[in-house]
Amino acid sequence: MSSCPEITAKVPNIQVVCAARKKIRASGGRITFADFMGLVLYHPAAGYYTRGRPVIGPQGDFFTSPSASPLFGRLLARQFLRFREELGHPPGFAVVELGGHRGQLRQDVLNEMPELNYRMVEVGDALPEGLVGCVFSNEFWDALPVHRVKVAGGGWQEIYVREDGEGFADELGPLSDPRLAAYLDGLPVAWMEGYETTVNLQAQEWMARLGRSLERGFVLSIDYGFERPEYFSPQRPKGTLRCYHRHTLGDDYYARPGEQDLTAHVDFTALIDTGRQAGLEPVLFTDQGRYLVGIGEEVFREIAERTAGQFSRERQAIHQLIHPGLMGSAFKVLIQRKGC
């Protein structure tokens, strides 16, 4: 710990804290929040997603659709089968999952469709080239590092991260990347003083990479988020960046670095626009409830008939996945295609 000997043993995840302080000092006293978020989530040895501790399910910090039931993977297998049929059963058909982590969803899909060529790509990995098939993600875009910005003094400023005692604090400064100004252009800043939000430049970079890597096929994205008018709603003056620790929602982004999840809702309009520029045509945007009913109606009917009059975990799972008050409306589904 020679890089920051002033840190006490009481600070959780000292390795991540020291790495962040070292980066701040090397950068002249501050770093972008995207750099900070990328470090605390994906530090090679001690990041939130990389250090090996369970983060999903009862022993973790949040639930996902795959953790709700294997039924989610079973339904997606049916979608992948339809994609393969639409492409004319090409011999090299493959499914590439972005951010699969421990592979629970992969296992659920392969239990239903064991012959599928299924790969996983994590943050930092290279995408396969000349891909024919489907690039799929479930809660990938929301876990990418974001820039924090704020309207201050009549214009957009970036919120940087600096040291503050043994922790970290905000510091305002000019925008660090011209792409931020391009993304924010056109918003009525004259009426937005004090408004904060996030910009996910890495999501745009990933979507551009998908357009280059996918030769023919589909991109299927499932995540929580909004289209642009709702994303910049006046009802969200502090944006959508949140923390999750032991199933408790918080907004202290500097508490427990590397020990809590940091996540921001997805701007699906930005994904659609960037995808178009990369040759990806949007063909469907809906909520998860309507989408799963559309691809799984026969499965749902069979479960309802088979379990009528008795307790059923399968029916409970269906309720959790599609009910508007649960995951059904919070999660959105975007399908894009290329060369089809």
Task: Take residue 77 and report the two structure tokens written for it.
Answer: 């297998």
Residue 90 token pair: 């090409």
Give the pLDDT confidence score for residue 6 in this predicted structure: 62
pLDDT level of residue 9 (50, 70, 90 thresholds): low
Q: For a pLDDT cut of 90, what percent of the chain falls above it?
A: 70
pLDDT tens by residue, 163-206: 998 899 999 999 999 999 999 999 999 999 999 999 999 999 99
What average pLDDT does the segment 107-126 reach?
Answer: 93
Q: Where do the domains of the chain lie? A: 8-335
- Asked whether 320 and 69 are in contact (CB, 8 A), the reply is yes
Tens-digit pLDDT profile for residues 313-339: 888 988 889 989 888 899 999 999 999
Does residue 2 have a pLDDT over 50? no
**Tens of pLDDT, residues 128-151:** 999 999 999 999 999 999 999 999
pLDDT at 227 > cutoff 80: yes
Find tokens 């059904």 and name the residue.
Answer: 328
Closest CA to 273 of 196, 198, 334, 188: 334
In this prediction the pTM is 0.92
Q: Is residue 105 over pLDDT 80?
A: yes
CATH 3.40.50.2000 fits 8-335, yes or no: no
- pLDDT of 12 over the 90 cut: no
pLDDT digits (tens, 9 = 90+) for 232-242: 999 999 999 99
- What are residue 158's DSSP bridge partners? 149, 173
Q: Does the pLDDT at position 61 exceed 60?
A: no
pLDDT tops 70 at residue 217: yes
Q: Is the pLDDT of residue 261 over 70?
A: yes
Question: Around 209, how many Cα atoms within 13 Å sit in the side-chain half-sphere?
Answer: 16
Quote the pLDDT of residue 54. 62
Beta partners for residue 31, in sequence order: 161
Beta bridge partner(s), residue 163: 168
The confidence score (pLDDT) of residue 317 equals 86
Q: What tokens does 63 get? A: 């639930």
pLDDT given for residue 311 in this prediction = 85
